[in-house]
């Protein structure tokens, strides 16, 4: 089996990607400092505890396992937190990535799949957004990811270091078998918050902004199942191992859902009502983010298999029956 280092592999998307990698014949080597990840989610390969800013530790792990490629999820990801503390985001997301990439080069590794984000685009000029859309982030989180994208482009151009940059939209859902799911502390993502409200674990669900220029005044987001994202990462690894060129690709369904529509769908799936309140817009949020995924389809042969109903059903199964309380 081929070893793949998965930095941040104990987190939400990282752990689902490890599951997918294992199912397709790879051995995922999880490298995680467990600041946001969970050791319980490391089920399909070894766990090596370490920070991407720790060059000595990275060198040790790369020397021991000699991975053929790296998937890089190890980043701080919360928009509001990045606005409150931009320096922390640049320190980890940019500084840590540079250390990781330098360690990879020293170990003779020149293939990386990078977890990027639609937040690099900023306010959309057109919907759906394709990869040629201008990149103008409106928050430090998106800016930190864009800087890494620029670094990877330079490494490819000048040193032959190949990468697949995956700009995904709103990850959601869980492993249908309930082995792993979305578990953040504190939770800031819309679907798990709505499910917690339905379960009575929080008093209400809050819609952040009801005056956007959208069909019902709430934000529009493109929710894509976490296992569809995982499948894209494994396909990207195989693309690089097969000698494929560097690419930046959008990962989304191409269908936008407003937050109010999301609430209605959650109510339908769980069969329960819950209180909804309306608050002001959150700083750093775009009104609408919807992917044009044609390039990912053409380059990786990838297509999303789960719709919003499936996303919420798998998330509900996880939150209602498996999420630690």
Classify the C-alpha dihedral 307-309-115-292 as positive or negative: positive
- Residue of 31, 89, 141, 212 marked catalytic: 141
* Fold of the domain spanning 190-220+254-294+305-321: UDP-galactose 4-epimerase; domain 1 (3.90.25)
The whole-angstrom separation of Cα 245 and Cα 169 is 23
User: Which range is least confidently modeled, 167-181, 280-294, 296-310?
Assistant: 280-294
pTM confidence score: 0.94
Ordered alpha helix ranges (H), the chain: 12-23, 55-65, 79-84, 86-89, 97-106, 140-159, 190-198, 226-241, 259-270, 294-300, 308-321
Residue ranges, CATH 3.90.25.10, the chain = 190-220+254-294+305-321
Task: Please give the DSSP secondary-structure letter assigned to residue 183.
Answer: -
Cα(92)–Cα(98) distance, integer angstroms: 9
Distance, in Å, from the CA atom of 121 to the CA atom of 49, rounded to the nearest integer, reads 33
> Which tokens go with 164?
């697949």
Contact assessment for residue 103 and residue 39, using Cβ atoms and an 8 Å cutoff: no
268 pLDDT exceeds 90?
Answer: yes
141 is catalytic: yes
Q: What pLDDT does residue 323 have?
A: 52
CB 164 within 8 A of CB 247: yes
43-81 pLDDT, tens digit each:
999 999 999 999 999 999 999 999 999 999 999 888 888
Contacts of 51 (CB under 8 A, 6+ apart): 33, 57, 96
How is residue 118 written in tokens? 């639609």
Tell me what pLDDT residue 79 has: 80
pLDDT tens digits along 163-205: 999 999 999 999 999 999 998 777 788 999 999 999 999 999 9
Residues 6 or more apart from 200 whose CB is under 8 A from it? none
Percent of the chain with pLDDT over 90: 86
Question: Please, where in the chain does CATH 3.40.50.720 lie?
Answer: 2-172+224-252
Q: Out of 3.40.50.720, 3.90.1570.10, 3.90.1640.30, 3.30.565.10, which CATH number does the structure's domain 2-172+224-252 have?
A: 3.40.50.720
């Amino acid at each position: 089996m081929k070893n793949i280092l998965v930095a941040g592999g104990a987190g939400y998307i990282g752990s689902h990607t490890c599951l997918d990698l294992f199912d397709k014949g790879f051995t995922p080597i999880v490298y995680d400092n467990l600041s946001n990840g969970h050791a319980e989610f490391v089920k399909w390969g070894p766990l090596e505890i370490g920070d991407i800013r720790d060059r000595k530790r990275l060198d040790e792990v790369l020397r021991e396992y000699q991975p053929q490629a790296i998937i890089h999820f190890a980043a701080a990801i919360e928009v509001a937190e990045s606005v409150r503390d931009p320096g922390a985001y640049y320190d980890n997301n940019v500084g840590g990535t540079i250390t990781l990439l330098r360690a990879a080069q020293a170990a003779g590794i020149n293939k990386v799949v990078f977890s990027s984000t639609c937040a690099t685009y900023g306010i959309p000029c057109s919907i759906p957004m394709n990869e040629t859309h201008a990149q103008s982030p409106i928050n430090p989180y998106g800016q930190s990811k864009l800087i890494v994208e620029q670094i990877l482009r330079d490494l490819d151009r000048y040193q032959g270091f190949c990468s697949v940059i995956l700009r995904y939209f709103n990850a959601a859902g869980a492993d249908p078998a309930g082995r792993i799911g979305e578990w953040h502390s504190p939770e800031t993502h819309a679907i798990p918050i709505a499910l917690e409200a339905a379960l009575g674990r929080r008093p209400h669900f809050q819609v952040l902004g009801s005056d956007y220029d959208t069909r019902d005044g709430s934000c529009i987001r493109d929710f894509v199942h976490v296992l569809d994202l995982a499948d894209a990462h494994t396909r990207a690894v195989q693309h690089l191992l097969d000698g494929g060129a560097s690419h930046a690709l959008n990962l989304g369904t191409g269908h936008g859902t407003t937050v109010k529509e999301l609430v209605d769908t959650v109510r339908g799936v769980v069969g329960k009502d819950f209180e909804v309140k309306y608050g002001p817009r959150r700083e750093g949020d775009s009104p609408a983010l919807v992917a044009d995924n044609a390039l990912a389809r053409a380059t990786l042969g990838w297509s999303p298999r789960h719709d919003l109903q499936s996303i919420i059903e798998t998330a509900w199964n996880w939150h209602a029956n498996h999420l630690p309380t």
